[in-house]
Amino acid sequence: MIKKKVSFDISVFSSIDELGDRDEKLMKRAIEARKNAYSPYSNFTVGAAVLLENGEIVLGNNQENAAYPSGLCAERVAVFYAGANYPGVKIKAIAITATSINYKVDAPAAPCGNCRQAISEYEINQESPIELFLMGETGKVIKCNAIADILPLAFTSSFLL
């Protein structure tokens, strides 16, 4: 048996104000998107802003449905929109922010497993990392350098050959 350790580095900013101009703008757009989320069942709203290589910023927010599995997370709404409307344009970064009507979300919210897998597909296909910026309603912001960092054993198309 061989043991291997999987680890990665993150950057932790005490607030959105510590981010550089590009990343602060991206997070503010995610906050805008969060305000338009449709979450009458969970009361948990998520906004995502996707920065494309061409400078476009695409927004997404969670869209719930009474038949819970029929809804879609903010990250996938934004990434799929980018893929449909800007095919072949690389994704540089994604900012994600979450809050709740029922309580204050003061810890960064990371993408769910489905979103990690979907973003991973784009990162693999474009052969360059997608930076992630994660924030709750307030407080610190975590930056991950790539989706591969938080999904190191991703299911890829190589399994389907």
Task: Kindly state the helix (H) or strand (E) to which residue 99 belongs, with its residue range.
Answer: strand 91-100
Query: Helices in 9-157 by DSSP H: which ranges?
Result: 21-34, 74-85, 113-126, 147-150
The one catalytic residue in 24, 64, 75, 123 is: 75
User: Residue 46 half-sphere exposure, CB side, CA atoms within 13 Å?
Assistant: 24
Q: Look at the alpha carbons of 78, 79, 80, 85 in this order and tell me if their dihedral is positive or negative.
A: positive
Query: Tokens for 127?
Result: 């052969």
Per the CB < 8 A criterion, the answer to whether 104 and 138 are in contact is yes
Q: Verify whether residue 137 is a known catalytic residue.
A: no
Of 52, 51, 49, 59, the closest CA to residue 95 belongs to 49
Positions annotated as catalytic residues are: 75
